[in-house]
Amino acid sequence: MQAATHLAGAALTLAVARGFGMEVGPFEVGAMMLGSLLPDIDTTTAGAGRYIRPVSSWLESKYGHRTVTHSLLFAVLVSLPFWLLWPGVGLALFLGIFSHLLLDTANVNGLPYLLFPVRHTFWFLPSRRSRIRYGSSQETTLAVILALSGVALWPLSADTFSTEVRRLIASPETAVVDYANWRDTNEVFAELDGFNSDTQEKVEGKYRVIEALGRRGVLVEDEAGNAYQVAENGQIVAYRVRVQKGAALAVLDSRVSVGGRLLRDVLAAVPPDARVYFTGELQLSAPVNIPPPAAGTFARIAGTDRLTLHSARPADLSPFAASYVVAGSLVARLSAGAGRSGVRSRQEAGLSFELPAEASRTEARTVTLSGLPSLAGVLVERGANVLEGQPLARYVLLADLADLDTQMTSKRRDVAEAKAQRARARASFEQQRDTLGRTLAPAQEAAQIQARLYALGAVARVDMEQAQMRAQAVDDQMTALGLNYSDTAAQARARADGLALDLQALQGKRARSAAAQVVRSPVAGKVAEVRVKDATQAGVSVDVVIISTLATAPTAPVKASSLY
């Protein structure tokens, strides 16, 4: 066969190999073309042999044409070293040589040493009349057919022949296979033709494939961000699903545990230029109101306090950023475009998923209550609103303070009684003072009258002295009453003050005892979780998680684990 025919055969072989999954680049193309011409180095009249005449002349004189270089042994020995160093190039070289041998079996002379050193002539065509002569019009026709076949198969081989077969079938099930093959290296799109089973609207157009639904179908996304299940029982029932490979991507799948964190921590870890989808289950501390999806679309998030996520976007989670996650894990799928330079590594694309360290839970404050006698000492429950300084737990029951309360009650009664006695003593003093005052004034006036009369000689001295003695006696009673009241009032005041001090001391003692038994909230906020941390003979340890409005400084990040 002529060199042009072998090159046409190599072109067809290249298209077929590409269709069966062989990676084809410039080096593979060159190796295939070279291999298709290489066996003819055993003759000086062929194109390849003319360029290396010393070698071809020696081979032709020693072995003859179509002998050792036209054998499977030659194909293996030449291509094996290349295959060990560069498998793709080695395979292309072998296939190029093999295509040359296959075409030569269609020649009238066949291949006598295909199984060198065993001599046995092989013909591809059994009838001698159908075998092709060198340089004939039949060979020209064959070369044209081979070349045109290669050109026709080349675009079909781009995504392998199996992919083209699946495109002919064009079902949701075949779309799953193509998505699984390309999801880690490329964007994946689906051309849909069908209808929406919920709204009965006709569906046509190109959608991004974002998730495989087992073997039964795929989850797709439109330009507006709405998601749809493409499956027998999904939102979209498709007559045809033709999957297409899009631009190259750098992809990272990371699994991360988010229990004991805020959803805000998860969203803060999302790289700014990456496309991110979250899948997993989360148990929240309190129910959230998930808005219903648009009519005829798939709900990426389902549940209230126990959320199920399927390819949820950061925008879908952002309304619940302040929610506290009690338990759960997510698989974050991050992707970034490869740009003009082709496929980039994850590092070059800036793909990483790192959650803040535990100390950076910006609004989650954990208060540990150690050694509680029982859970009855916990004074709050999940969902309760607490103020800063509000008691969260008490280490003893209120009955333990009953004795102090009884003593304080008794002291309060004593203080009240002392104040009442003091008031009664004052009232008695004032009553007696008023009575003596009414007696003293007439007695003093009578004594003065007797003194004037005595001065005039109208009365005897004895009468004057008696009147003065009566007035002095009343005045002495008044003085004695005042002195007695002063002493009584001082004693009553001292007793009342002493009782008040005793009461104040009891109140202080009770306050100190109560303060020592109570753990108070360091911040104002909402109780997100009350969980038993440990239970021993010494008591129960409980963690109370409070979602507050206070922020703390972030610390070193915690890396998520990569799935690949």
List, as one string, the DSSP characters of 247-316: EEEEEEEEEEE-TTEEHHHHHHTS-TT-EEEEEEEEEESS---PPPPPTT---SEE-SSEEEEEEE-HHH
Give residue 124's pLDDT band: very low, low, confident or very high (50, 70, 90): confident
Residue 63 has pLDDT above 50, yes or no: yes
Share of residues in the chain with pLDDT > 70 (%): 89
Q: What is the pLDDT of residue 164?
A: 78
Contacts of 259 (CB under 8 A, 6+ apart): 283, 325, 326, 327, 328, 329
Kindly report the average pLDDT of the chain as a whole number. Answer: 84
Which one has a higher pLDDT value, 16 or 550?
16
CA distances from 545 to 115, 317, 320 (A): 79, 21, 17
Give residue 135's pLDDT band: very low, low, confident or very high (50, 70, 90): confident
Give residue 17's pLDDT band: very low, low, confident or very high (50, 70, 90): very high
Strands 525-536 and 385-386: antiparallel
**Alpha-carbon gap, residue 189 to 36, rounded angstroms:** 38
Q: What's the whole-number mean pLDDT along residues 192-220?
A: 94
Q: pLDDT by residue (tens digit) across 259-281?
A: 888 888 899 889 888 999 999 99
Contacts of 201 (CB under 8 A, 6+ apart): 195, 296
Q: What is the pLDDT of residue 21?
A: 83
CA distances from 182 to 74, 312, 432 (A): 37, 21, 112
Q: What is the pLDDT of residue 47?
A: 65
Q: What is the pLDDT of residue 558?
A: 42
Q: pLDDT by residue (tens digit) across 303-344?
A: 998 999 999 999 999 998 888 888 999 999 999 876 544 445
Q: Which of 91-100, 348-357, 511-520 is most confident?
A: 91-100
Q: Are 62 and 69 in contact (CB under 8 A)?
A: no
Contacts of 505 (CB under 8 A, 6+ apart): none
Which H or E element spans position 488?
A: helix 461-517
What's the token pair of residue 195? 């209808």
Q: What is the pLDDT of residue 49?
A: 60
Q: What is the pLDDT of residue 229?
A: 96
Residue 557 has pLDDT above 90, yes or no: no
Q: pLDDT by residue (tens digit) across 145-175?
A: 999 999 999 988 887 787 777 777 778 888 9
DSSP class of residue 38 equals: G
Q: Which of 40-49, 133-142, 156-165, 350-359 is most confident?
A: 133-142
Residue 465 class from Cβ within 10 Å (0-12 exposed, 13-18 middle, 19+ buried)? middle
